[in-house]
Chain A
């Protein structure tokens, strides 16, 4: 079954890179939605069925930790895996994300292989043509 992925980052550059990387992973992905902050992400989650969220932590308006907490507090979004993609390498924010229920995290800068490895087991591989 093909999945719908939501990429949340205030950097359009990172969203574009993640779009490309996700398409290269060989995972069964139907649509990749984008949001520039946590508030926009909640609007996308309300409007679409999302199977996976990749989110930055440091963002204006609503950051990735607030988004994660909002999702885990809502019955309809609680089960959606959230992977944090962040420059935060310290224990504080990453540890908080894990405590809040993040499915994992990838540090920026990242390689396509690191993203693919993190998503294996979360998304299904695409069926061979």
Chain B
């Protein structure tokens, strides 16, 4: 399994587990894959969380305002009909839990990683761009008519270029060369 496949599997498992545990909901996996980094238009709620260590990058969760409100209502067992501070906070925490779980899984392969405090953006027709050329590993999830995209880009930091991702048929680990 290469690193992107590990990230993809981890995003899928973490997201399903967070929804199942914190919301009591089983959501479905949709399209998944790897996409080169480029500015993309967004609409709705987008959250970001930084990953740092020998490998660094960004995790992101994006969804429609309706999906964000539904997640908030289900997770906090409250009414949420419009995107407010509580809804944004819930999406931030959702991102923290999903990418946090992915980070924990990746630490087995890449060594210790840190997480930043998440940032959430809500609006229309805005563009996001991550500095760097890393590819995004992304998985779309479906909850009835609404969808949510979870993605992560990760690349080795220059000063830690001697740590290479190493993989074998059964396991993989960060390899010092």
Chain A residues in the interface with B (C-beta under 8 A): 10-14, 16-17, 20, 58-60, 87-90, 92, 108-111
Contact = CB atoms under 8 A, between A and B. Distances in A.
A105 to B, nearest CB: 13
- The interface size bin for chain B is 20 to 34
B59 to A, nearest CB: 11
Contact of A90 (B17, B89, B92, B112): B112
29 contacts: A11-B89, A11-B92, A11-B93, A12-B85, A13-B86, A13-B89, A13-B90, A14-B93, A16-B76, A17-B76, A20-B77, A58-B115, A59-B117, A60-B117, A87-B96, A87-B97, A87-B100, A87-B103, A89-B101, A89-B107, A90-B103, A90-B104, A90-B107, A90-B112, A90-B113, A92-B112, A108-B97, A109-B17, A109-B101
B95 to A, nearest CB: 10
Given A89-B100, A89-B107, 19 more contacts: A10-B117, A11-B89, A11-B93, A12-B86, A13-B76, A17-B75, A17-B76, A20-B77, A59-B117, A87-B97, A87-B100, A87-B103, A87-B104, A89-B101, A89-B104, A90-B107, A108-B96, A109-B17, A109-B18
Interface in B66-109: 72, 75-78, 85-86, 89-90, 92-93, 96-97, 100-101, 103-104, 107
Nearest to B105: A89
Interface of B is mostly: helix
B21 interface: yes
Contacts of B107: 89-90
Contacts of A108: 96-97, 100
B115 A111 contact: no
Interface of A is mostly: loop
A19 to B, nearest CB: 10
B22 interface: yes
Contacts, number: 59
Given A11-B93, A13-B90, A58-B115, A88 B100 contact: yes
Contacts of A60: 117
A59 B77 CA distance: 24
Interface string B21-34: 11000000000000
Contacts of A88: 100, 104
Contacts of A12: 85-86, 89
A92 B104 CA distance: 11
Contacts of B113: 90
A105 B86 CA distance: 26
Contacts of B72: 13
B87 to A, nearest CB: 9
